[in-house]
Amino acid sequence: MVTEGSEYYFDPIGLFVEAGETVTFEIESGSHSATAYSEDTSSASVTRIPDGAAAFNSEILSEQGATYEHTFETTGTYDYFCLPHKTLGMVGRIVVGEPGGPAEGSMPPDGPVPESQTIVDQGSVSYSDFSG
């Protein structure tokens, strides 16, 4: 999770993992969160995680090197955002096992992310390589 000048982003912006794997989100600079698009979260008006999947929310982390971990158990596509920078397009996508769920076939409401199949094919998509 990075702040660089006037840019706020997740790097990688797209990541592929297998079900049961744990992802660690780490603050490189700035104050950020990793928050699932789930209507269970007060800041999300839509759900963009698979049915039955656990929503995640790191809350805002501010200290450089601070981390948040989430284990992804349910197969499908997960879109997520940063609480303070959602309106600036700080969004990301994780594909677990294979694409699927309500995030498929469209982009998050707050900014573009790589297509799920691109993420699966490449394993991860860095922010600098994404031209969304």
The domain that holds 85 is classified in CATH as 2.60.40.420
* Span 5-25, pLDDT tens digits: 889 999 999 999 999 999 999
pLDDT tens for 87-125 read 999 999 999 999 999 999 999 999 999 999 999 999 999
Cα 69 to Cα 53: distance, rounded to the nearest angstrom: 15
- Count of domains for the chain: 1
Binding-site residue set: 82, 85, 90
State the binding site for Cu cation: 82, 85, 90
Per DSSP bridges, beta strands 91-96 and 14-17 are parallel
pLDDT digits (tens, 9 = 90+) for 36-70: 999 987 788 899 999 999 999 999 999 999 999 99
* Structural domain containing residue 12: 2-129
Dihedral sign (CA 127, 130, 131, 132): negative
